[in-house]
Amino acid sequence: MTHNNDHVVIIGGGGTAIATMYDLCLRGFKVTLIEKGELTSGTTGRHHGQLHCGARYAMGDKNIAKECMTESALLRKIAPNAIEYNMGMFVALNDDDMQYKDNFIQCCLDADIPAREIPISLAFEYEKELNRNIKAAVMVPDGTIDPWRLAISFAAGALKTGNAEIKTYHEVIAINKNASNIESVTVINHISHKKETILGDIFINAGGPWAGKIAELAGIDLPVSPSPGTMLAAKKRISNMVVSRLHEAGDGDIVVPQRQLTIIGSTQWLSDNPDINRVPQEDIDFLNKSAIDIFPCFKNLEYHTAWAAARPLYGKHSTSEGVRNLSRDYIAVDHEKHDGVDNMISIVGGKATTLRAMGEVVSDMLCKKVGLDIKGRTSEIILPNYREYYRGGRNGQTD
């Protein structure tokens, strides 16, 4: 089923954009998704892959923590082929970490996250390479995400409906308005090098850290802070769980097992440009040391690679420390109400764990905007295996 005259154009090809496409296709909308590179080639394809239960946010924002707990459980249910539910452990390395412990556990419990301290001897049974000088260990229900497989499972689901068209390697270079109404976008096809015009009725800006630049094309000031961070990967998987430092969120405090790699992340700095093309050597040195503090054997591992990705934080700040204090929550903005542009919605912020929820929020907003009462179903349906994206489900694929 499709709705006449309700053609939605989504700008962006990361997890949030793809999940939004899937949600809208299930509700019967015709959707065209435009991405300037390959799907997930931006931030989605560059994060460390932690499935957040919300523990890291419990002391700062209980609502974010609760949502992460809810969404992580939902993703395990609907996307089992993309999730490794391997649990998480927060470890205290010094007396300052120990002072953080009791309040951390209580805040987790207050957010419905089942955190519990375990004997150090049991922590060593679970993770044999842990620093033998740890002072405490707390278990939480974290896990890992395969970022590509998760996003592409949503894409496969969208294509399966017959309502989706995916245009990769198409970059939006102009948003064409008639007074307060967007009529079309102009794109450059990076394969043919030709310009095209894509018409639409409603436009969704889901460009992640590029969302502010996309909004500028429509004459909209959308406050987005691209906040890059470096991650480092070494060859060999030395942990089975996600292992984090038991202290206030900071740099280099999460070790994530991803396939046969060990990833340590991340750092944070301030940039106006989300197209990150450098990895500071001081970040690599710092992350190496941070990983060795948690897993001393990390110093013996073969270096694999280091990379940087920009977080799409909502808001503006002039310092790196100020950006660190920006919320990790997400916001959906109806630009008719805020900027006088009738048919555009932006979604900014969030994290991979909440991509399904973000897609649902945008889709709910869009339905209300066009006067339709259609309930979302993404929490109820098991996603197709990501391989279905390549098997017969690509009827709408145009790359």
Domain definitions of the chain by residue range: 1-49+146-223+327-399, 86-143+224-314
d(CA 308, CA 205): 23
Instruction: Supply the pLDDT for residue 271.
Output: 78
Intervals of the chain under pLDDT 50: 1-2, 394-399
Q: What is the CATH number that goes with domain 86-143+224-314?
A: 3.30.9.10
| Cβ-proximal residues to 371 (8 Å cutoff; 6+ apart), any chain | none
Instruction: Supply the pLDDT for residue 324.
Output: 52
Burial code (b: 16+ CB inside 10 Å, e: under 16) for 8-31 equals bbbbbbbbbbbbbbbbbbbbebbb
Instruction: Supply the pLDDT for residue 193.
Output: 97
Instruction: Supply the pLDDT for residue 304.
Output: 97
Tokens, residue 29 = 């909308």
Tokens, residue 159 = 């294509």
Instruction: Supply the pLDDT for residue 319.
Output: 56
Instruction: Supply the pLDDT for residue 272.
Output: 77
d(CA 107, CA 60): 9
pTM (2 decimals)? 0.93
CATH class assigned to 1-49+146-223+327-399:
alpha beta
